[in-house]
Amino acid sequence: MSEFGKVAVLLGGDSAEREVSLRSGQAVVQALRNAGVDAHAFDPAHNPLAELKEQGFTRAFNVLHGRGGEDGTIQGALHYLGIPYTGSGVLACALAMDKVKTKQIWQASGLPVAPSVVVSQDETLDYASLLDELGGKVMVKPAQEGSSIGMSSAATAAQLEAAVALAWKFDDEVLVESWLSGPEFTVALLNNKALPAIRLETSHEFYDYDAKYQANDTQYHCPADLSEVEELALRQLAEAAFRSLDGAGWGRVDVMCDKYGHFRLLEANMVPGMTEKSLVPMAAKAAGMSFEQLVVAILRHGEG
């Protein structure tokens, strides 16, 4: 497909999600080549970005996960270099990477989220009171990490103190959210439109790093066993959430239900995984698209 010219698949990087990114990138390179695209792996951890110009690349397919790759940094650099790239722009990526800012925008937009409190490194915390305020059980998340890195649950003051201490190893700001006990869903977006929802089922307490990338018993249901009305409502919610962050091209929005069955937005991912276990390819397959068709569509509908 000469329409794309020479394409750099950005993979690896130096974030905590490097290994996942390498697997995503290798899958994307192979699929693009199978589709006739002149695609090449490019790892910014080993090669200066200026080499993109020097080596004659005309477009970038970004599958750098985590900090540096989906927080607006690489997007700004590519924009400066004048190289078109896949996915959302600087603002959307910076917002979506920060779970605190994401929630603030969703709340201001009137979109449903779980009750939460933001705690910073310099605060003195009353863990028992914080736990009581949020319903007795919570999920603790670093503000800016992906792949569930640094996340843990807590149901006692001691557990909460340990969970916050763990999350602080990854970020100065930590989000403490009320525990959501209902099923978990993820909605992939392609060209800003929602693909069929996926319901996640894991034997783990929550969908953690191991459940995502290593466990063999994690189940993915697509169709998600929702009624037609519920499926439509979930897709519309995901599209609204993506749009409110200025998302463009492709991405993924994660959602859980509370104990009353109401959808609550969790987070948005502007550079989702593209490994053999990843969810965007699964949703695309349910919509009748092969992996090759998916990566070409993502390349075609780039933002940059």
Active site residues: 17, 147, 213, 252, 254, 267, 269, 273
Please, which residues bridge with residue 7 across strands? 39, 59
- Rounded distance between C-alpha atoms, residue 224 and residue 247, angstroms: 24
Q: What SS3 class is residue 171?
A: coil
H helix runs in the chain, sequence order: 18-34, 50-54, 73-81, 90-97, 99-108, 127-133, 157-168, 209-213, 228-244, 279-286, 291-300
Q: Is 260 helix (H, G, I), strand (E, B) or coil?
A: coil
How far is CA 181 from its chain centroid?
21
The H-assigned helical ranges of 175-287 are 209-213, 228-244, 279-286
Structure tokens at 260: 């009353």
54 vs 225: CA distance, rounded Å:
50
Residues whose CB is less than 8 angstroms from the CB of residue 100 and which lie 6 or more positions away in sequence, other chains included: 118, 143, 173, 175
Q: Which of 154, 147, 185 is nearest to 264 (CA)?
A: 185
- What is the rounded distance in angstroms from the CA atom of residue 304 to the CA atom of residue 93? 12
Q: What residues contact 214, with CB distance under 8 A and at least 6 apart?
A: none
Question: Directed axis angle between helix 18-34 and helix 291-300, to 10°?
Answer: 100
Structure tokens given for 100? 């605190």
β 116-120/173-178 pair status? antiparallel
Tokens of 141: 């998340």
